[in-house]
Amino acid sequence: MNDGRIDNDGPIDKVIGIIGLGYVGLPLALAAAAAGYRVVGFDVDAGKVESLRAGRSYIKHIGEADLRAATAAGRLDATTDFAALRTVDAIIICVPTPLTAHRAPDLTYVIRTTEAIVPHLRRGHLVVLESTTWPGTTEEVMKPILERTGLKSGEDFFLAYSPEREDPGNPAFTTRSIPKVVGGDGPVALARADALYGAIVAGTVKVSSTRTAEAVKLTENIFRAVNIALVNELKVVYERMGVDIWEVIEAAKTKPFGYMPFYPGPGLGGHCIPIDPFYLTWKAREFETSTRFIELAGEINTAMPHYVVERLARALDAATGRGLNGATILLLGLAYKKNVDDVRESPAFKLIELLEHRGARVDFHDPHVAAIPPMREYPHYQGRPRVALTGAAIASFDAVLIATDHDDVDYKLVADNARLVIDTRNACARAGLTAPHIVKA
């Protein structure tokens, strides 16, 4: 650990302010507290602040034992009062970076947060952005706002970028075990940010600039988006040929080199992969450069909910002689990935929208989501409760559509009672369940 001094080459003091206490900020706050830092969390949501101060976790995969230990030890506090930023030595920004309705970057949260820092910025502050964004954001957007104070980056305060690498619900990789990429606006900023994260995580990877660090994050998620699009396209092609894409992938991944398995699904979800590639396509236009490969991948992935609904409609017509109009559908899984309660950008909502547009009535069950939370794009679904997953309930629906393959779901119960199962995740086959009424999509 560091000795608490602030100098041009060494680590910063032990007080860290983290703005944004969601799926990125809260795990980081706990990791920093466990490393010995004192952490002050900032959020505009008073409910989150109240929960943290009471030792209650509002994110399912984050246990309350560590949270209570950190607060009891005086290592973690939370507030809505940004004036407390003056008491910290480093400020880490973990706020959302969504897209607009026209798929352009929406930096509203980053800009507002940076502006909120300005009245409290002081000499010696280290300011780090973790939110995913286009290369140049830290330097071109944040830096001018912060320098309105008259303080100069690299001399009076220090600016850096270190992309978050959270994988919610993955027990194999935690905040502390995942290396952190770090880029600074100048050598002193880089050294201070590296010292900060070096005390928290297993290792750091220093790069030459904030712009490079921003590009690293986009590259990681574009890699995934493109490869998922590839297997989604293969799924459609192989289905018409009578070939099971899941069997193909299982066999292909036995090759010990030159292949990495990616899996198809009903569409992309989460706060990164459906969004991040479009940050680069937008920025590339400034340089008169097209991103045809990335945009094609986006088109394929965006089309997958439509493909799933068509598969469901055809299977329902074959089984009952009628289509979706008036049909009752149980959507199994609302979260964007298994074993978490995170519904951000989940393709489940697009599936609901498409099905209801076709005249179907849709209910859902998700063991991790009791009711649909507030959603910016789908506010009209807020409050819709889950239905109980009982044999009688399953049997009352015309079809069950598996959108998320949570582990704690009894798929045998589903298969035994459902009239028709449309499985987008291969969940039934992995459970050893095959039958004519189970259709992969």
Q: 321-347: b or e for each residue (b if 16 or more CB lie within 10 Å)?
A: eeebeebebbbbbbbbbbbbbbbbbbb
- Does any domain span residue 47? yes
Same domain, 193 and 243: no
Cα–Cα dist 77/33, whole Å = 10
Same domain, 126 and 231: no
Same domain, 250 and 289: yes
Same domain, 25 and 101: yes
Domain boundary, last residue among 208, 235, 252: 208
Half-sphere exposure of 291 (CA within 13 A, CB side): 19
Number of domains in the chain: 2
Positive or negative torsion for Cα 155, 157, 159, 162: positive
**Where residue 251 sits, what CATH number does that domain have?**
3.40.50.720
Q: Which residue has 């030595």 as its token pair?
A: 89
Tokens matching residue 119 = 């009245």
Same domain, 255 and 148: no
Q: Which of 107, 146, 272, 315 is catalytic?
A: 272
pLDDT score recorded for residue 271: 65
pLDDT score recorded for residue 11: 47
Cα–Cα dist 152/180, whole Å = 26
CA distances from 388 to 5, 353, 365 (A): 56, 21, 7
Same domain, 138 and 237: no
Same domain, 230 and 204: no
Same domain, 348 and 230: yes
pLDDT < 70 positions in the chain: 1-13, 270-272
Helix, coil or strand: residue 19: strand
Same domain, 96 and 197: yes
- Does any domain span residue 409? yes
Instruction: Compute CA 169 distance to the chain's CA centroid, rounded to the nearest angstrom.
Output: 11
pLDDT score recorded for residue 9: 44
- Does any domain span residue 238? yes
At 317-326, the pLDDT tens digits run: 998 888 899 9
Domain boundary, last residue among 182, 208, 234: 208
Quick one: DSSP state of residue 386?
P
Same domain, 240 and 193: no
* Host domain of residue 149: 15-208
Q: 217-254: b or e for each residue (b if 16 or more CB lie within 10 Å)?
A: bbebbbebbbebbebbbbbeebbeeeeebbeebeeeee
Domain boundary, last residue among 173, 208, 243: 208
Same domain, 54 and 170: yes
pLDDT score recorded for residue 321: 85
Cα–Cα dist 380/17, whole Å = 35
Active site residue 428: no
Same domain, 180 and 261: no
Cα–Cα dist 52/39, whole Å = 12
- Does any domain span residue 215? no
pLDDT score recorded for residue 141: 98
Q: Where are the alpha helices (DSSP H) in 8-134?
A: 25-34, 46-53, 64-72, 108-117
- Does any domain span residue 6? no
Amino acid in position 289: T
At 405-436, the pLDDT tens digits run: 999 999 999 999 999 999 999 999 999 999 99
pTM of the model: 0.90
